[in-house]
Structure formats: structure tokens, C-alpha cells
A and B are shown apart, each in its own frame.
Chain A
Amino acid sequence: MSEFIPQFTQQLINGLSVGAIYALIAIGYTMVYGIVGMINFAHGEIYMIGAYVGLVALTAFAAVGGGPLPLMLAGALILSAVITGIYGYAVEQVAYKPLRGAPRLVPLISALGVSVFLTNYVGLGQGARDVAVPALLYGGWSFNMGGTFAVNFSYSRMLIIFVTVILMIGLTLFIKHSRLGQACRACSQDMAMANLLGIDTNKVISFTFILGAVLAAVGGVLIGQATGKINPFIGFIFGLKAFTAAVLGGIGSIPGAMLGGFLLGLVETFAQGYLLSEYKDVVSFGLLILVLLFWPTGLLGKNTMEKV
């Protein structure tokens, strides 16, 4: 039993760090859903592109001589955020904006098309196989909690949690206090009214997509460091799981997405640790189905009734 606490703590750390990534991606889903009312199927692929761009940036830095590690990482994060943000913007302009007002199935299928396109676009550009990510952050903090098993809190995991928490605090403050943040909130509550009040809803929508992409990009860069490899298909699985997290926390609610992300990370890690690891995806999908069936408003979501 003395093994239990250290193992439990290890799972806790692992779960929170993977949950942080889910949370970053989930925010993108939930913001788009709250303002435009659609599920951005391609969001997972945006995350994947963020991972690749980050890796390319790091490799480019290394090729020109490198530099202090924090600078390189920060540079990669910023570059990836900017370029992936452009992707988010472009996808919205090309594939979703012309379809505003169409029956719900139509933008959904378009988003699916974008998702398939982007996956194979990266597959063609960078190859469909795994790409190994050189580990820039070696080691971590090991500590004993009794028992023979040493708990390892790797630096890359620390970075993930640290960056995520900072971003979330920043986002929350931004939404609450800035004009653009208030505009976002207004649009998510009543788009037509926001328009009448003079808010440029097109700008708000574009901003939402860009912001979601930026956060996903950060997640993508960090996950490369944590798992050591990326491939064009990570967007698919991660996207679905992040969406599960968004629904779990309450779709449309940003704090909900944060909460849902961490929660899902924990549930999945514990399931993987204590149950069979091949079925961890089944656990996540199963959880998604259960949540949508029995708890569609999620933990922090609002119950909206359809006006007859």
C-alpha cells in the first residue's frame, strides 16, 4: 500500500499535464461554439499544425546556431501561435463564413472537409509518419513520498502546467476586462443584438477563431516536448478528446472548458494506469457518449430551452 501514494501522485501529475493540453484545445471549441454555434471539426487539425510549426521553428533556430533554451522555446511558441492563428483565420474565412445561415448540417460537413484536407495537407508536406521531437527539456524533479517508487515531475510537464495556467489567467482577465473580451461575451449571448449595438461581429468571430488557434498551437508545441513525437493524425484523437472535455465542462463556457480539460486528463490517466491502456481511447469516447446523453449541459453550462 505504500506504493499507492507515490503512484497516485504520479498519475495525478501526468493527468494534470495532459489535461492542461486538453483544456487549451477545449477552449477553442467552446469559444467557437458559444459565439458561432458550430463545432469546429477542424480545430484538432489546427492543434496538430501548431505542433508542426513549433517543431519547424525550433529546428530552424537550432540550424542557425540556437541560443538560450527559454528564448528558443518562447520563440517557437510565439511563431507557432502567430502562424497557426493565421490558419485559424483562413479556415474561418474560406470554409465557414460563406456558410453562415445555412442549415446546420452544411457547415458541419464543410468543417469535416477542412479536417480531412488539413490532415492530408500536412501528411503530404511533412510525411505521414511519426516525427521525433528532440527533447529540449531533460530531466525533472524527482521526489520520494515513501515507498520505493520515486515520483517524477518532469520539466516539460511543469512547463505545460505553468504555461497553461498563465494563459488561462490571462484569458480570464482579458474576457472580463477588455473591450474585445466584452464584445465576445455579448456576441455569445445574443449575436443579433450585438450587431445592432454596433459591435463588428465579423471581427469578433474572426478573433475567436484566431484566439482558439493560438491556444491550440501552444498546446501543440508543448505536447511535442512532452510525448517526443508528432504525426499528422494527432489532431483527430486529441480533437475528439478535447471536444469531450469542452462538453464535460459545459459547452460555451470557458471556465467549463478549463475544468473539463483537467478533469478528462485525470480520468483518462487514472483509467490508463489502473485499467487497460489500449482501451483508454474507448474510455474517452465512452465518457463523451455518456456525458452527451445524460449531462449535455455539462458541469458549468447553461440550460437553454428552444423557443417555440
Chain B
Amino acid sequence: MSPKDVLHVSGLRMEFGGLVAVDGISFAVGPEEIFAIIGPNGAGKTTVFNCVSGFYKPTSGHVVFAGEAITGRSSHEVARRGIVRTFQNIRLFKNMTVLENLLVGQHQQVDNNFLSGLLALPRYRRMEREALAKALFWLDRVGLREFANRQAGTLAYGHQRRLEIARCMITDPRLLLLDEPAAGLNPQEKIDLQRMIDRLRRENHIAVLLIEHDMRLVMDVSDRILVMEYGRPIATDTPERIQKDERVIKAYLGED
């Protein structure tokens, strides 16, 4: 855990009524690091995501992003600071086109002045053109250009996943949270996903926090892994060492 860390979580605890979902979770994600959180269902992984991304207010603990404390900040404030996320159940704007999904993603960066939009001033029109160009750029990056005008809900599941990630990336984030991105993908799509995550890290210089059940993907793509069970941490280490860790094997290690 160094001051250059993109994300620094310490002592995270989340209680719902009497139920403790997460307790004593601490970890750090360095710049351009791919950090995975794994564990059986109900271990509290998505709860950690929700605490980091501002959808839950942690009962106690600290979340520090790029040196700034964001514990308990609301989700849109967290997103504006550079943390974006995907969801277990893909949350695209299904009735809007693929292109529009990417335009909405840029909402924070586009000229939002009401009057200038109303009167279609030159500055406004220029920003709309730029937003369109950026959207097309990302469509190319994820290989969805041909679907630009299609309704997002009509896309194949794997393509929807890619679109969701593209929509995240179009906000120019520093940290990307992926919640089970490989769920429902076939083996080829999983390979493509792995390549995409790696490429995003290299070319866009982002750090990635990943929840995943597919062990091969996790072991291949992650730099470090945190194993959780019943809301508590079991081990934090590199993939090689995690695979040999007795505690982890005892608690949970799915098919290899």
C-alpha cells in the first residue's frame, strides 16, 4: 500500500440491520493494476463494490481514491471523480440506441448549458460533434461500430457486455470496476474479454477492480487477488500463491 495507489480501502465494514455483510476488508489497487476479488456466492464481493462506488454508505472504514477520501460519497459524485462500474445484471439503456448509450455516458463532459443547447449555439454544436466522434471511436475499439444505430436491448448478450464497458470507458475513468464481466459469455468471448481488459489497462492506463467466478480468467488476467468468505478476507496475494494457499483451497477454489 503506497501513496501512489489508485484505490485504498481500509477496515471496510458494512452492516444491514443486524446482518454483517462485510467486515475488516482492506486492500489497495496500484496504478494500472488488475486486482480481483473472488469468493463463494454471498461472500460480500458486490457489497464491497457498492461501498467503493458509492451505492452503499459503509458502516465504518475508509475508502481513499487517488489520495482523496470518498467514503460515503454518493454514487454520482464517485463516478465524477473517476471510478466507474459495470453491474452483474447489465444495465444498459435498452430502449436507446447503442450510439446514444455512449452519448449519455459523456453527459458530464458535454456542454450542459441549457440556453446554449436551446439555441444550438456553435460551441454546443461543436461539442455534440466531438461527442459523436468519441462515441464512434469507442465503438470501433470494442468492435461494435456496425450496431451503432441498433437499439441496445436487441444486441447479443456478449455485445451488450462490451457496450457496457465501452460506456464506462468513455467517461475517461481511472478505475474500472467490473462485476462478473464474464458471466454468460462463451469461451471465445471470455478470451476476447481478457484481451480487452488487458488492452484497456495498457492503452488507457486504468486500474481494474474485478469480481469474477471464472478462475482461469481471474488467474490469467489479475496481478493480485483478494479472497473473501462470509464478508471477511481470507488471503490477499498473487495468483500463483493464492492457488497454493491452504486457507483458500479449504474455503473455496472452484474448478481450475
List chain A positions with a Cβ less than 8 A from chain B. 302-303, 305, 308
Q: Tell me the smallest distance from the CB of A232 to a CB of chain B, in Å.
A: 42
- Residue of A302, A303, A305 with highest tally of chain B CB at under 10 A: A305
Name the 4 nearest CB pairs between A and B, nearest first: A308-B55, A308-B50, A305-B16, A305-B56
Among the listed A302, A303, A308, which residue makes an inter-chain contact with B87, where contact means beta carbons less than 8 Å apart? A308
Encoded as 1 (CB less than 8 Å from any A CB) or 0, chain B from 42 to 60 comes to 0000100010000110000
Q: What residues of chain B lie closer than 8 Å to A305, measured between beta carbons? A: 16, 56
A-B residue pairs in contact (CB < 8 Å), sample of 6? A302-B17, A305-B56, A308-B50, A308-B55, A308-B56, A308-B87
Q: What residues of chain B lie closer than 8 Å to A302, measured between beta carbons? A: 17
Q: Tell me the smallest distance from the CB of A281 to a CB of chain B, in Å.
A: 35
Q: Tell me the smallest distance from the CB of A304 to a CB of chain B, in Å.
A: 9
Q: Report the separation of the CA atoms of residues A302 and B17 in the bound assembly, to the nearest whole angstrom.
A: 9
Q: What residues of chain B lie closer than 8 Å to A303, measured between beta carbons? A: 17
Within residues 7 to 31 of chain B, which ones have a CB less than 8 A from any CB in chain A? Answer: 16-17
Q: Which chain A residue lies CB-closest to B46?
A: A308
Q: Tell me the smallest distance from the CB of A183 to a CB of chain B, in Å.
A: 23
- Residue of A302, A303, A308 with highest tally of chain B CB at under 10 A: A308
Within residues 91 to 114 of chain B, which ones have a CB less than 8 A from any CB in chain A? Answer: none
Q: Tell me the smallest distance from the CB of B53 to a CB of chain A, in Å.
A: 8
Q: What residues of chain B lie closer than 8 Å to A308, measured between beta carbons? A: 46, 50, 55-56, 87
Q: What residues of chain A lie closer than 8 Å to B16, measured between beta carbons? A: 305
Q: Which chain A residue lies CB-closest to B179?
A: A308
Q: Report the separation of the CA atoms of residues A308 and B46 in the bound assembly, to the nearest whole angstrom.
A: 9
Q: What residues of chain A lie closer than 8 Å to B46, measured between beta carbons? A: 308
Q: Which chain A residue lies CB-closest to B87?
A: A308
Q: Report the separation of the CA atoms of residues A302 and B56 in the bound assembly, to the nearest whole angstrom.
A: 17
Q: What residues of chain A lie closer than 8 Å to B87, measured between beta carbons? A: 308
Q: Which chain B residue lies CB-closest to A302?
A: B17
Q: What residues of chain A lie closer than 8 Å to B55, measured between beta carbons? A: 308
Q: Report the separation of the CA atoms of residues A303 and B18 in the bound assembly, to the nearest whole angstrom.
A: 12
Within residues 179 to 199 of chain B, which ones have a CB less than 8 A from any CB in chain A? Answer: none
Q: What residues of chain A lie closer than 8 Å to B56, measured between beta carbons? A: 305, 308
Q: Which chain A residue lies CB-closest to B75?
A: A308
Q: Report the separation of the CA atoms of residues A305 and B16 in the bound assembly, to the nearest whole angstrom.
A: 8
Q: Which chain B residue lies CB-closest to A306?
A: B55
